[in-house]
Structure 1
Amino acid sequence: MAKTPFTQSVAATGLVASLPITPDATTSKVPVDNEILQLTVLTFGAGQSLSTHASPKAVVATLLEGEMSFPVDGEDNRMVPGDSLYLAPNAPHSVEALTDCRLQLVMVNAKPWSQA
């Protein structure tokens, strides 16, 4: 997807219909992507996972559907729909879908604030 200008409002409609959960796969859509933030919706088939990694951005993760294990800094967090967590920049984390899942991430470029 092309970058979204920071000055442009975006309505991200129809995401559930356009991003079905696929067994044995992880898929994603990025409806907003600009120099300040990125909105990403991911789907995970049951059993799918992402190994430990980190992002230089601050992240708010909200589970929209399913049940997920979301370890952060070595502490496991069991998430159910409606649960959210905040990841500080560079926090090591991983995810494992315990059931079919839909996850929303809002990633914020923390660099301007970390240099203040």
Structure 2
Amino acid sequence: MNIGFEKGTVLNLEQMIDYAEGGVVSKQVIKTDSGNLTLFSFDEGQGLTEHTSPYNAVVQVLDGQAEISINRQPHILKAGQTIIMPANVPHALHAIKRFKMLLSMVKG
């Protein structure tokens, strides 16, 4: 299912989502039975508490800087960097500086 974005067009993902002061914004790009793509923006200090997902998750940082913990092992990522979070392993995100990311969730 396409969620408001035309397939076959060039997208600038970093420009397609804005920051919200003191908050987190998400915008679904596409959703299918096998996974989805979602844009997120996090204001400085915001994040997602530790959780698990049945999907493998690829985080591509588009702007800013974040600490992403996988199984309580912290990783510092900045714009242009990517990390893969394995399915069913605890992970968390924290905005060191406000940041934007593309989250790709893939079954399997």
For normalisation by structure 2, the TM-score amounts to 0.87
Residues 1-116 of structure 1 mapped to structure 2, 5 A cutoff: 3-4=1-2, 9=7, 11=9, 13=11, 15-110=13-108
Matched length: 105
Q: What is the SS of the residue equivalent to 1:66? A: strand
The CA deviation at 1:61 is 0.7
Structure 1: runs of 5 or more not aligned:
111-116
Q: Which has the higher strand share?
A: 2
Q: What is the SS of the residue equivalent to 1:55? A: coil
Supply the RMSD in Å over aligned alpha carbons: 1.9
Moved over 3 A (4+): 9-12, 14-18
Give the structure with higher Rg (CA): 1
1:8-39 Cα shifts (integer Å, max 9, x gaps)? x5647354444211120000111110011200
For normalisation by structure 1, the TM-score amounts to 0.81
State, as a whole percentage, how many aligned pairs show the same letter: 22
Structure 2: runs of 5 or more not aligned:
none
Paired residue for 1:114?
none
